[in-house]
Amino acid sequence: MTSVVAAARRALEVSSSAATAVSGAAHRAYRASGADLPFGDPLPAHDVAMEGYFWRFTDPATGRVLIALEGVNRGPTGHWATLGVASHPTGLLRATAHPTGHASADGLGVSAGEAFHGTADRLRVDLGPDARLDVSVERPVPWPRRIVGGSSVFQAVPGLNQYWHPWLLGGSAHGTAHVAGEEWLLDGWSVYAEKNWGKGGFPDSWWWGQAQGFDDPSVCVAFAGGEIHIGPLRTTVTALVVLLPDGRLVRLGDPVVSAVRAEVTDERWLLRGRSARWRIDVEGHGRLGEAHVLPVPLPAEHRNVPGAIEHLGATLDVTVRRDGHVVWAGRSTTAALEHGGIDRARAEVTRRGGGPEAAGAPPDILRR
């Protein structure tokens, strides 16, 4: 771990001092490695093997949740896309490998023909009559920090297998969705969006979570963890972010100064993060049978495979302390909790009766 963290810190120091001297061509080459300079914008495409875009809409009043995703994948013959829409509690899952995919190099923008089009303020998806949405984002709450993004010092390290940035920590949806034979009015729903990318697709194992729908609607919690590597150097890192009611963003996850310890199963997520002044405790629960199994891409093979066991309506309890005193605590019953790993997800799809070509599965309880 020490070697990886030291490499990250050196990369951040070097890139920070050189930021103003980097030419356009050098900057493009640097970003093509997956890395971003300090004060850089992670949202434009890096053109690595996989560039993933994810939106989540939550209505705590009804318990409804809707997610939409696109992964733009670079294969031997060009770019293609992993597309998906899933919902809770209806259990809808629509996912496909689309022959085209495009990610904008000029800002947040992603598309796949007529099936998917997402920008910073609007999302339109059409994966069939029961998986359509057209929604705009009003009063957005963007990531408030400028020096680094969600991956912290690791964002400056070229060639990592995975980077993560939660670029939208809140907002109000306006629009409609057609989900599993129902029409949902999304006006006033909470919005969250993030981006992840890397040269090798997804790690061998990872965990992730996100929640809104707390008593204070301005609060947003997100975390992402897994194994990252730079050549032969490997370490496990978890980033944990809480946007507090007063607008402060607390981010833990530097392995040296604000480490987050994670214990994760398919039904339980336990995170403990500490820094010199802050402590964040997170505990999440969800029943395996109520989770979706979502696809992930194998970019070079131009196909999707089962990759992530994801709960869309789980329970998450969070407590934030500063100097030993509780500054906020809350519970969400519409949390997303994910345990990723291709072997694990494939075994769960098989257990649910999916064939060898199945790239995902709806909640198991819907088949009973």
φ, ψ of residue 125 to 5 degrees: the values are -135, 140
pLDDT of residue 20 exceeding 50? no
pLDDT of residue 7 exceeding 60? no
Q: What is the pLDDT of residues 108-127, one digit of tens each?
A: 999 999 999 999 999 999 99
Task: Give pLDDT, residue 14.
Answer: 52
Q: How large is the average pLDDT for residues 52-73?
A: 97
- Per-chain mean pLDDT for the chain: 91
CA atoms within 13 A of residue 142's CA, in its CB half-sphere? 10
pLDDT of residue 212 exceeding 50? yes
Q: What is the pLDDT of residues 180-206, one digit of tens each?
A: 999 999 999 999 999 999 986 677 789
- Residue 70's alpha-carbon distances to 48, 102, 259, 341, in angstroms, are 15, 10, 30, 19
Q: Which range is least confidently modeled, 138-142, 144-148, 285-289, 352-356? A: 144-148
Q: Positive or negative, the Cα torsion across 294, 210, 163, 319? A: negative
Domain boundaries, the chain: 2-367
Name the percent of the chain lying above pLDDT 70: 90
d(CA 186, CA 138): 12
Type of residue at 160: L
Element (H, E) at 348: helix 342-351
Q: How large is the average pLDDT for residues 9-32?
A: 64
Q: How large is the average pLDDT for residues 293-311?
A: 96
Task: Give pLDDT, residue 3.
Answer: 56
Type of residue at 121: D
pLDDT of residue 4 exceeding 60? no
Task: Give pLDDT, residue 366.
Answer: 57
Q: What is the pLDDT of residues 239-298, one digit of tens each?
A: 999 999 999 999 999 888 899 999 999 999 999 999 999 999 999 999 999 999 999 999
Q: How large is the average pLDDT for residues 138-166?
A: 89
* DSSP character at residue 142: B
How does residue 178 score in pLDDT terms, banded at 50, 70 and 90?
Answer: very high
Task: Give pLDDT, residue 148.
Answer: 85
Q: How large is the average pLDDT for residues 151-168?
A: 89
* DSSP character at residue 355: -
Q: Which range is least confidently modeled, 15-29, 89-103, 351-365? A: 15-29
Q: Residue 39 is encoded by which pair of tokens?
A: 């004060």
Q: Are strands 278-285 and 182-185 parallel, antiparallel or unpaired?
A: unpaired
Residues whose CB is less than 8 angstroms from the CB of residue 263 and which lie 6 or more positions away in sequence, other chains included: 269, 270, 271
Total residue count of the chain as it appears in this document? 368
φ, ψ of residue 272 to 5 degrees: the values are -135, 115
